[in-house]
Structure 1
Amino acid sequence: MTIRSFILCFIIYHFINKCEQCSNEYPFQVHLGTRTPYRSVSNISFDKIYYNGCVSTKIWMIVRHGTRNPSVTNIEDMKNKLPKIQQLILENENLPNDNIKNRDLDLFRKWRTRLDIDDETKLTHEGEEEMLLLAERMQNRFPDIFNEVYSNTTYKFRYTYSQRTKKSALYFAAGLFGKHTAKEVWFPEPLKKDPILRFYKLCDKWRQEIKAKEKDTGQYKKFAAGFEMTDVIRNVNKRLGLQDEIDLGDIYVMYITCGFETAWNKQSKSPWCSVFSEEDFKVLEYMEDLKYYWVDGYGHELTYQQACPAFGDMISHLDISNQYPKATIYFTHSGTLLKMLAHMGLYKDQEALRSTNYNKMTNRKWRTSLIDAFGTNLAFVLFNCNGNQEILTLHQENIVRLPPCPDSDLCDYNKILDYYSHSLKKCDFTAMCNKTDD
């Protein structure tokens, strides 16, 4: 471990120990959906992963970009809506009360949004650090694969057509090789519609028949209009001592601002988090989960079937007939990671998430806060175990077991080929994604 790694690890270790008690004060940190900070879900261990008689030989890894700034629409809502709500709160004679304390009001007095439109979706400092540390931890876990000396034969990097994935790739490379060498790393020119990293951009049928319809009339919309969200709106107004001045649009802007500001800042609380109870956060999280379940997850077969090109790329890379590259690392987006997780059969609930079964799904597996935080990553590591080829799967650096091997960390390469044979043999992306007019 380098000195820099040790210092960063020491800081994070003490921060986590310090925050064991604040985890009760800030329970919302695991209910922030896709804006959840990576530090809340990742495995921060630097320990080497090994199995007796086995040597790690290759890795294929796909990484969601690190913590970013909001979109243009979100920034405009923050700049236009939140100052008005802030003023309502600070001028309200009914505050402080049992819910909104003086310390919360102090945070509201200090709050300013400093984002400009030009800052949209850019990687933040927190995102840079996430990538640096992720790379250093992976290098320590698998030293037989991740060599500190860069070679474009050994390493294959690729990112999508966006600033946040490009910067994520650069900082990941800096974590592996140091900042000076990282400048020499070769990255191919990104594609606007990458068939591996962002395959869904090329799937017209999915975009028009699933994404568009779910956005307009899906389970997410129905839940947003249901009694659970009505209760949240009423409770927030009551908590703030207001008379229905806050509507659903305001609620959502406060929720996403709470998420972004929590991800950006390790040790300070966003004032916008204080307006919600833990139950409010759970309801808002479920609304988010519904959206991603039906647009990016198990809601429709085509959604996860179309991930077969990425899955096939992984299988091809891990084939032992190709010695190089030893490491293939891709940098992409939430939509890719979620579809890949569903394609692999991970985090699948017995019952579909719907607008009508919130109470039944309390212990659901499909929780974007836990499975799709900023910096989320999925890695497949090939081990040679006395001549047998075995694959270890990591999600957010935590070991997960694949459906074909539910009782073992390592899964035989050929068993994976057999279990997912349909994905490999029936991956006619053009046929499945071409829109057919009735």
Structure 2
Amino acid sequence: MKFLILAVLISIQLINVLSLDCYYNTECKYKYFSSKTPYENVRGDIRDSIVKEEGCEPISIWATIRHGKRNPGEKFAKNIKDILNLKDSIINSFEEGNSLLCAQDVENLNKWETNQDMLEKPNEITNEGYLELFRLAERMKEALPDLLNGLQNEDTLFLPGFGARLHVSAKSFVDGLANKNLEIKEAENNYSIAAPYASCGKFQTEYFHNPSIYREVEEYLKTPDAIDVRNQNKMKERVEKKLGLNISLSFKEVIAIYDVCRYSWDGIGNKPNPWCAVFSIEDLKVQEYIGDLEHYYRNGYGVPDYSSIFGKITLADTYKHFELAKNNEGKKIISYFTHATMLDMILVALNVRKDAKPLLGAQRDMKRKWRTTFLSTFGANMVAVLNRCQNGTQNEYHNVAFYWNEEPLKELCNQGVCSWQEFENIFKPFLHFNTDFCEYKWTIVDE
């Protein structure tokens, strides 16, 4: 009898502990999903962070912007579609008392409706993705009204790289400027500014499409930090136990649940996805680090020679346009629309967000600077603002303020503001870089 009472008490305590781990009432839900993070989850606000210096006026803007939130690719969409078929089984498992999920989490999952576009329109920009860039443009216009009100075509250059989602993102940005008549240029066939890496055969073959570059990811998957999360046997056993299913999940199906979690997280509406309840915070942190390693060794400091060159080729355009604007011959706004890869490469070219030691699979660096969640997420952007100033003696001078995701890029110059001489010292040498080393043109383009 005493044993029975003790067992009941232990069960009650276990239930209480589990209830504290419910997803729905977790105050600070983990909302960082590497490069698939909604922009709203991490952005600053250019209206608050814009540098205002007495005697200065902005005369030109140069920006590189990643496309807004998109649907998963075709392969991932298929995996997600398969896992969504288990929704009823998950709910039935809870009703039968086999699940470790909390009641409210299951109720939220039951009410969650599948966005069919996510499954049927691979890689297309979502409604949230449209709004991410639309609202970015609105905030920029509020921050710099004298420069961005009343724009005409001769004042602007909007150029997306190749692919429908980049053109849609460019359009959403232009719409946010409240002038739908502004022209959007067609992508150049070599993407020379928006994405010079995309047509470089040598880089695409040796790195971008070479599975061996992910060896640090493979090393990380062997560590105690990750093995319970990504090891096929241990992870699927843990997830199966939490869901209480009487079927065996494949590793691919568990990862598909993670994809549902992150692709369906509504950043603008501040609506977490109930599928995320399957994972612990530590699970999500491990998944995020895997994304960081992938970007680091494909686009970042893990391939510094390539990444730095491509980033400098793009940034050379900043110098060219600001030199013209400085001499009253430039445009008010120049904006390129590109992919996460290009944002990563720009960071390498500028030598910012660089860790003292390389990111490795052997151990996760909890305090790393290279976190793609804050660097190259959906809608990520670098914005440079050229200012013309006059001091008390009426001598004219210029400076350039830099922003990353609407926050000052403080690692550059004086808290993100460079004198013209500092700007020239950094950016003018970029004019000497080109893609002659590419050997041949890569023609399989990411749509």
Shorter-normalised TM range: 0.7 to 0.9
Give every structure 1 segment of 4 or more consecutive aligned residues whose post-TM-superposition deviation is greater than 6 Å: none
The answer to whether the 8 A contact 2:63-2:334 is kept is yes
The answer to whether the 8 A contact 2:384-2:400 is kept is yes
Name the structure 2 match of 1:7. Answer: none
Cα distance change, pair 39–140 in 1 and its aligned pair in 2 (3 A): same
State yes or no: 1:381 paired with 2:385: yes
Q: SS of the residue aligned with 2:132?
A: helix
Structure 1 residue 267: deviation in Å?
A: 4.0
Q: Give the count of matched residue pairs.
A: 401
What is the 5 A alignment of 1:145-160? 145-147=147-149, 149-160=150-161
Structure 1 residue 144: deviation in Å?
A: 3.0
Q: SS of the residue aligned with 2:418?
A: strand
The answer to whether the 8 A contact 1:63-1:329 is kept is yes
Structure 1 residue 243: deviation in Å?
A: 8.2
Match of 1:248 among 247, 251, 261: 251
Name the structure 1 match of 2:285. Answer: 282
Residues 279-307 of structure 1 show CA distances to partners (whole Å, capped at 9, x for unaligned) of 11111100111000110111012123222
Q: SS of the residue aligned with 2:363?
A: coil
State yes or no: 1:399 paired with 2:432: no
The answer to whether the 8 A contact 2:213-2:298 is kept is no
Cα distance change, pair 278–126 in 1 and its aligned pair in 2 (3 A): same
Cα distance change, pair 421–265 in 1 and its aligned pair in 2 (3 A): closer
Cα distance change, pair 152–244 in 1 and its aligned pair in 2 (3 A): same
Name the structure 1 match of 2:66. Answer: 64
Match of 1:231 among 221, 228, 233: 228
**Cα RMSD between the aligned structures?**
2.5
Residues 59-92 of structure 1 show CA distances to partners (whole Å, capped at 9, x for unaligned) of 1011111111111111111112342376256336
The answer to whether the 8 A contact 1:293-1:299 is kept is yes
What is the 5 A alignment of 1:32-111? 32-44=33-45, 46-47=47-48, 49-84=51-86, 87-88=89-90, 90-91=92-93, 93-97=96-100, 100-111=101-112
The answer to whether the 8 A contact 2:55-2:389 is kept is yes
Partner Cα distance (1:353, 1:217) in 2: 12
The answer to whether the 8 A contact 2:99-2:241 is kept is no
Partner Cα distance (2:80, 2:222) in 1: 22
The answer to whether the 8 A contact 1:57-1:383 is kept is yes
The answer to whether the 8 A contact 2:223-2:363 is kept is no
State yes or no: 1:258 paired with 2:261: yes
The answer to whether the 8 A contact 1:35-1:256 is kept is no
State yes or no: 1:411 paired with 2:418: yes
Structure 1 residue 211: deviation in Å?
A: 2.0
Cα distance change, pair 316–268 in 1 and its aligned pair in 2 (3 A): same
Name the structure 2 match of 1:314. Answer: 318
Runs of 5+ unmatched residues, structure 1: 1-21
Q: SS of the residue aligned with 1:349?
A: coil
The answer to whether the 8 A contact 1:75-1:120 is kept is yes
State yes or no: 1:196 paired with 2:181: no
Name the structure 1 match of 2:272. Answer: 269
Of stretches 305-314 and 258-267 in structure 1, the one that deviates more from structure 2 is 258-267
Compare CA radii of gyration and give the structure with the larger one. 2
Of stretches 325-334 and 219-228 in structure 1, the one that deviates more from structure 2 is 219-228
The answer to whether the 8 A contact 2:133-2:172 is kept is yes
The answer to whether the 8 A contact 1:79-1:113 is kept is no
User: Matched residues, percent identical?
Assistant: 27
Cα distance change, pair 351–86 in 1 and its aligned pair in 2 (3 A): farther
Of stretches 76-85 and 305-314 in structure 1, the one that deviates more from structure 2 is 76-85
Letter in 1 for 2:357: E
What is the 5 A alignment of 1:6-45? 25-29=27-31, 31-44=32-45
Cα distance change, pair 163–215 in 1 and its aligned pair in 2 (3 A): farther
The answer to whether the 8 A contact 2:319-2:427 is kept is no
Partner Cα distance (2:336, 2:97) in 1: 52
The answer to whether the 8 A contact 1:153-1:324 is kept is no
Match of 2:399 among 390, 398, 407: 390
Partner Cα distance (1:162, 1:23) in 2: 40
The answer to whether the 8 A contact 1:75-1:115 is kept is no
Of stretches 101-110 and 55-64 in structure 1, the one that deviates more from structure 2 is 101-110
Partner Cα distance (2:26, 2:147) in 1: 39
Q: SS of the residue aligned with 2:147?
A: coil
Name the structure 1 match of 2:351. Answer: 345
Residues 151-181 of structure 1 show CA distances to partners (whole Å, capped at 9, x for unaligned) of 111111111222222122112112112xxx4
Partner Cα distance (2:54, 2:25) in 1: 37
Name the structure 1 match of 2:342. Answer: 336
Name the structure 2 match of 1:18. Answer: none
The answer to whether the 8 A contact 2:93-2:245 is kept is no
The answer to whether the 8 A contact 1:67-1:264 is kept is no
Structure 1 residue 251: deviation in Å?
A: 2.9
Structure 1 residue 112: deviation in Å?
A: 4.7
Q: SS of the residue aligned with 1:274?
A: helix
Letter in 2 for 1:187: I
Q: SS of the residue aligned with 1:55?
A: strand
Runs of 5+ unmatched residues, structure 2: 1-23, 230-234, 391-395, 441-447
Calculate the TM-score normalised by the size of structure 2: 0.82
Name the structure 1 match of 2:172. Answer: 171
Letter in 2 for 1:413: W
Match of 1:434 among 412, 434, 439: 439
